[in-house]
Chains A and B, each alone.
Chain A
Amino acid sequence: MTQAQQRSQSEPAAPAYPRHWEADVLLRDGGTAHLRPISPADAELLVSFYSEVSDQSKYLRFFAAMPTLSEREVRRFVDVDQQDRVGMVLTVAERIIAVGQFERLPGAVEPGGPESKGDLAEVAFLVQDKHQHRGIGQLLLEHLAQVGREVEVRKFVAEILPENAGMIQVFREAGYQVKGGYEEGVMHLEFAIDPTTTSLEVMQSREHRAETASVRRFFGARSVAVVGASRRRDTVGRQLVRNLVLGDYQGRVYVVNPSAEAVAGMPAYASVSDIPDEVDIAVVAVPSEAVPDVVLDCANKGVHGLVVVSSGFAETGPAGRRLQRQLLRVCRTYGLRLVGPNALGIINTASDLALNASLSPVMPPRGRAGFFCQSGALGVAILENVSRRGLGLSTFVSAGNRADVSGNDLLQYWEEDDTTEVVLLYLESIGNPRKFSRIARRVSRRKPVIAVKSGRTTQGVPMGHAVRASEAGQAAVDAMFRQAGVIQVDTLDEMFDVAQLLAHQPLPRGNRVAVVGNSDALALMASDAAAAAGSRSMPGAGCLPRPAPRTSSTRSTTPSTRPTSTRSSPCSSRRSTSPVPRWRPCWPSWGSSRTSRWCPASSPPRASRSCCGSPTSRGAQPAAARSRRTSRRRPRSARWPLRWSTAAGSTARSRRSSLPTRPTRSGPAAPCCRR
């Protein structure tokens, strides 16, 4: 409210073109479009837009047959002051596909004086028929409401014909308190446009749906065009074709090369537009200067997205940065999503849709982890590491300079992707941390999210990444990860350790570790390491008997969702200097299944704790080292952690966890050498 007010005051008087209203938006099906204020220069575009709207839609908009717009009506559409009459258009490929407007009603609600402006505005949309059901009305309403708040409109009214079910739904589902009724055969709706909790939730779930759809169309591509496929061996384009074909891709592969008739035994097309069938994604390996032209070619064909593996963009300097900006601009204008540039590519290991649209000849084994990273070189290292460890991946993206598709999009996709149980992120830079934190808070409640953030201390980012430096420094990054429930690790090795632990072991119930060994010296070192990592360890052999813990009758008995109180441990009377795990994540999909695998259903969970509750059986030290990180997570459910935290309220948190920097740790391969 105040924000809107303030912005409106900093705004010069109308009709200056309000550039900050412009936005690139993602439609429900994952395509992109550009939203901008209407301007007087749009008259011609508007006429051609209107000619492609069906008579039915026109009737629903104007309540009368309006086959064409007169000159005067067109001017009324486009000559707006963007204060009392506001118009916005949605464009794809510089053609208007939808128009949304509102018009302030004169002093209708608060007649505070003759000069007072009304705070009620009538809102209306018109969407081209072929673009209906893409969530455009909702997007327009969202943006018009934001504009309305800025120009001090408090309420929207809309008059809709009862048969216009789609539009009624747009208003009903936006999350506002809509009041309405029939008057003379017309439905009259009215609602305040201040954002409500519901409207923000609605918005976020729509954002989630659109971004998920956008990424799904990459991973689920049924046909791929390789642009820049070359006949010569050892070229990038050739390698891409090879990887696709040898990676058991079951869709269609098209090669595009204007100067060859065939590549690797496949007929080559001169351009993407020449391909007879539909093309879902295009993998682009042409020199960087030629990439924008490829985008136009792909847009003409109706391709959903591009994977640009070509280098020579922002990573090379200012000229490349300009080129990258231009590339993104063209992609957004024509409604394409972009992975890269300078990307290694994307991989999907699903059996029915195996897709290796990357430069990596190694296809990782199929598994339950989704991996997002940026740099291509790192991507190769990761894929090799993954294969060596036998840790399977479900999906893999190396987004290079991540000009468009980012870790945030992938998080959205993985949230509901059934093939992915663990999310691994190697973040070289975080461009939109607010959004990351918003999404990660939600995703980490359902699936573990493990992240390496490089440049923790130096705030260094690779060339090609445009980010601002944080002033709050590392403490803020750590706080953000922690608040978002993300397991933060320092190295790739550590990330894979945690991922393997989460993928193959039940969640530890607490931080008690029993060390099993045949050497006291080694066991002591192991328990030292465990203690240093924040676990309570008990040196000695075998599973130690332990007094039956006190149980709290108020807690649920479902093992995978119940917070574990370390207070029930016999050690709890000692004041611990280590972080106390105060919660258990609720990832039912894999937590329960693993638990049931390791704990026979017949045995009571608590009795079996010392054997299966702690992950000592697979090497005490790495497990102990990890448990500290694991303990940093907590679910973001608004309900139960509160109750829980009250219970643990008197436990002072360790200061270790709040220190701005933590000691660098070597990989768990050599855990004894850590100190």
Chain B
Amino acid sequence: MLSALTGAPDGRQLTDEELTTVLAAYGVDLWERVPVTSVDEAVAAGERLGWDVVLKATAAHLVQRPDLAHVWRNIDTEDEMRDAWQTMQALIETRVTADFVVQRNAPAGVPVSIRAVEDPLFGPVVSFGVSGAASDLLGDRAYRIPPMDQLDAHEMVRDIGAAPLLLGYRGSEPVDVASVERLLLHVAQLKNDLPQVRRLDLSLVVVGLQGLTVLTAAARVEAATDARSDWYVRRMVEAGETQPG
């Protein structure tokens, strides 16, 4: 499955198709994103996806900024798309780097992000947090080391300060936390199996009242330096490399 990944010796970013395949193998459904650069492309993408789509800007300085109106939801017709395109272009002045994409409209919910990295010291590390600039800046994330069990996932979701957003806050309905826990376990399993995945970033996962949708994901692969040396066979740590702890 990952045989194509070793082509680049210094590692490379996975394409969307590859990533979709990899994630699908672990039961994670990544929704298609269609990058567009013009209004006609956006309309075509909308038609292809069967409408009820969103148009959103994905440049780093625009995402997760409600004040900048980076996303336009529920676009059902060509006219609406053209309207959305023009309005957003007016709102977002730096449209050259706005990186618009068209995507199917996801059920509303709480946006969360799940990240998994291959740490030089720990091997796989999975982290979880609610999306948003404030969460990022405050470092409100929970970390776990795979292999993870259900209890780990259960606690991880509740560890963060923003957990009430998921469990019901100011009268909102609790979202489907169980689906987040399942996703965390799937990601942990993937990361545990594949040390070559240097970094996996499910940066936008919308958790609804029932189920969740994985909207944005990126991954980078690199040749594994330490192939889980004592995981499948017993061996003592080599002289010269890391010493045992």
- Chain A positions within 8 Å of B, measured between CB atoms, are 2-3, 5-7, 9-10, 20, 23-26, 32, 35, 139, 142-143, 145-146, 149, 195, 200, 203, 206-207, 210, 325, 328-329, 332, 401-404, 406-409, 427, 429-437, 465-472, 475-476, 478-480, 483, 634, 636, 638, 641-642, 645, 649-653, 655, 657-660
CB distance from B213 to the nearest CB of A (A): 23
Do A146 and B159 have beta carbons less than 8 Å apart?
no
Binary flags per residue of B34-45, CB closer than 8 Å to A gives 1, else 0: 000000000000
- The CA-CA distance from A329 to B241 in the complex, in Å, is 12
Do B121 and A467 have beta carbons less than 8 Å apart?
yes
Report 10 cross-chain contacts, Cβ distance below 8 Å, ordered by A residue: A9-B3, A20-B227, A406-B243, A407-B245, A409-B244, A468-B120, A472-B119, A638-B149, A645-B154, A655-B160
Residues of B close to A652: CB separation below 8 A:
158, 163-164, 167
Residues of A close to B193: CB separation below 8 A:
2-3
- Does chain A have a CB within 8 A of B81? no
Do A3 and B239 have beta carbons less than 8 Å apart?
no
- Does chain A have a CB within 8 A of B240? yes
- Does chain A have a CB within 8 A of B2? yes
* Residue from A145, A329, A437, A634 with most neighbouring chain B CB atoms (10 Å): A437
Given A325-B239, A657-B159, 13 more A-B residue pairs with CB atoms under 8 Å apart are A2-B193, A145-B233, A401-B243, A404-B244, A427-B245, A430-B121, A431-B245, A433-B145, A434-B230, A467-B245, A476-B119, A479-B145, A480-B145
- The CA-CA distance from A106 to B117 in the complex, in Å, is 41
CB distance from B139 to the nearest CB of A (A): 6
Residues of A close to B141: CB separation below 8 A:
475, 658
Binary flags per residue of B226-245, CB closer than 8 Å to A gives 1, else 0: 01101111111111111111
Pairs of residues from A and B, 5 with the lowest C-beta to C-beta distance, nearest first: A655-B161, A430-B245, A23-B235, A470-B121, A406-B244
- The CA-CA distance from A403 to B155 in the complex, in Å, is 36
Do A476 and B243 have beta carbons less than 8 Å apart?
no
Do B227 and A25 have beta carbons less than 8 Å apart?
no
Do B239 and A6 have beta carbons less than 8 Å apart?
no
Residue of A nearest to B25 (CB): A2
Of A146, A475, A642, the residue contacting B233 (CB under 8 A) is A146
- The CA-CA distance from A664 to B47 in the complex, in Å, is 58
Residues of A close to B92: CB separation below 8 A:
none
Q: Could you tell me which residues of chain B, from 108 to 158, have a CB within 8 Å of some CB in chain A?
A: 117, 119-123, 125, 127, 139-145, 148-152, 154-155, 158
Chain B interface, DSSP helix/strand/loop, else mixed: loop
- Does chain A have a CB within 8 A of B195? yes
Do A433 and B139 have beta carbons less than 8 Å apart?
no
- Does chain A have a CB within 8 A of B6? yes
Do B195 and A3 have beta carbons less than 8 Å apart?
yes
Residues of B close to A210: CB separation below 8 A:
234
Residue of B nearest to A7 (CB): B227
Of B123, B167, B233, the residue contacting A434 (CB under 8 A) is B123
Do A25 and B194 have beta carbons less than 8 Å apart?
no
- The CA-CA distance from A642 to B154 in the complex, in Å, is 9
* Known contacts A476-B143, A476-B145; is-contact A432 B119 (Cβ 8 Å): no
Of A3, A467, A472, A478, the residue contacting B228 (CB under 8 A) is A3
Do B243 and A467 have beta carbons less than 8 Å apart?
yes
Binary flags per residue of B185-197, CB closer than 8 Å to A gives 1, else 0: 0000000011110
* Known contacts A6-B6, A146-B232, A466-B242; is-contact A472 B155 (Cβ 8 Å): no
Do B234 and A470 have beta carbons less than 8 Å apart?
no
Of A328, A467, A649, A651, the residue contacting B242 (CB under 8 A) is A467
Do A483 and B152 have beta carbons less than 8 Å apart?
yes
CB distance from A193 to the nearest CB of B (A): 10
CB distance from B12 to the nearest CB of A (A): 14
* Known contacts A408-B245, A468-B242, A645-B154; is-contact A480 B122 (Cβ 8 Å): yes
- The CA-CA distance from A236 to B139 in the complex, in Å, is 50
Residue of B nearest to A195 (CB): B232
- The CA-CA distance from A195 to B245 in the complex, in Å, is 26
Residues of A close to B234: CB separation below 8 A:
25-26, 139, 142, 203, 206-207, 210
CB distance from A578 to the nearest CB of B (A): 14
Do A470 and B119 have beta carbons less than 8 Å apart?
yes
CB distance from A142 to the nearest CB of B (A): 5
Residues of A close to B238: CB separation below 8 A:
24
Residues of A close to B223: CB separation below 8 A:
10
Residues of A close to B148: CB separation below 8 A:
483
- The CA-CA distance from A145 to B233 in the complex, in Å, is 9
Do B244 and A408 have beta carbons less than 8 Å apart?
yes
CB distance from B245 to the nearest CB of A (A): 4
Residue of B nearest to A332 (CB): B239
* Known contacts A476-B122, A638-B149; is-contact A653 B158 (Cβ 8 Å): yes
Do B233 and A143 have beta carbons less than 8 Å apart?
yes
